[in-house]
Amino acid sequence: MFAFVYWVACLLLYIIALPILLILPFLKAKYKDSLKARFFLYKNTKFSGEVWIHACSLGEINSLQIILQNMSCQIILSTITNTGFKRAKELFSTYDNIKICYLPFEIFLPFLMPRNLKKLVVLEAELWYILFYTAKIRGAKTILLNARISNKSYPKYKKTTFFYKFLFKQIDLILCQQDEDKDRLQSLGAGEIITIGNIKALNKIKISKNLQKPPKTLLIAASTHNSEEKLIIECFLESFRDKLDSICLLVIPRHPERFSEVWNLILSYNLKCQKFSADGLNYDNNIILIDVLGELINFYSIADCVILGGSFVRLGGHNPLECAFFNTKLISGIHIFNQLSLFSLVDGYKIVKSTELTDTLKNMQSLPNSKIIDTKLAFMQGFIKKYILE
* Structural domains of the chain, ranges and CATH numbers in brackets: 2-195 (3.40.50.11720), 217-373 (3.40.50.2000)
Please state the φ and ψ torsions of residue 53, each to the nearest 5 degrees: -120, 130
User: pLDDT tens string for the chain (390 positions)?
Assistant: 899 999 999 999 999 999 999 988 887 777 888 999 999 999 888 899 999 999 998 889 989 998 999 999 999 999 998 889 999 999 999 999 999 999 999 999 999 999 999 999 999 999 999 999 999 999 999 999 999 998 888 999 999 999 999 999 999 999 999 999 999 999 999 999 999 999 988 888 889 999 988 999 999 999 999 999 999 999 999 999 999 999 999 999 999 999 999 999 999 999 999 999 998 999 999 999 999 988 999 999 999 999 999 999 999 999 999 999 999 999 999 999 989 989 999 999 999 999 999 999 999 999 999 999 988 888 999 999 999 998
User: Nearest CA to 66 among 180, 168, 200, 178?
Assistant: 200
- CB of 223 closer than 8 Å to CB of 308: yes
- CB of 207 closer than 8 Å to CB of 386: no
- CB of 223 closer than 8 Å to CB of 310: yes
Please state the φ and ψ torsions of residue 250, each to the nearest 5 degrees: -100, 130
pLDDT at residue number 27 = 79
| Category of 234 on φ-ψ map: left (φ > 0), alpha (ψ -120 to 50) or beta | alpha
Rounded-to-integer distance, Cα 272 and Cα 266, Å = 9
> Maximum CA pair distance of the chain?
73
- CB of 55 closer than 8 Å to CB of 123: yes
- CB of 383 closer than 8 Å to CB of 196: yes
pLDDT at residue number 24 = 86
Sheet bearing 217-224, strands edge to edge: 273-275, 287-289, 247-253, 217-224, 305-308, 329-332, 349-351
At 275, the amino acid letter reads: K
Alpha-carbon dihedral sign for residues 146, 152, 156, 159 = positive
Rounded-to-integer distance, Cα 152 and Cα 155, Å = 7
Please state the φ and ψ torsions of residue 351, each to the nearest 5 degrees: -100, 125
* 364 Cβ contact list (under 8 Å, min separation 6): 217, 219, 239, 305, 329
Rounded-to-integer distance, Cα 88 and Cα 58, Å = 8
Strand-strand pairing, 287-289 and 247-253: parallel
Strand-strand pairing, 119-123 and 247-253: unpaired
Supply the DSSP symbol for 142. E
Rounded-to-integer distance, Cα 46 and Cα 111, Å = 12
pLDDT at residue number 271 = 94
* pLDDT tens profile 6-51: 999 999 999 999 999 998 888 777 788 899 999 999 988 889 999 9
pLDDT at residue number 319 = 93
Q: Give burial (CB, 10 Å; 0-12/13-18/19+) of 14.
A: middle
- CB of 65 closer than 8 Å to CB of 135: no
Rounded-to-integer distance, Cα 281 and Cα 264, Å = 19
pLDDT at residue number 151 = 83
User: Nearest CA to 217 among 184, 195, 244, 193?
Assistant: 244
Q: Quick count: other Cβ atoms within 10 Å of Cβ 118?
A: 16
Rounded-to-integer distance, Cα 303 and Cα 293, Å = 17
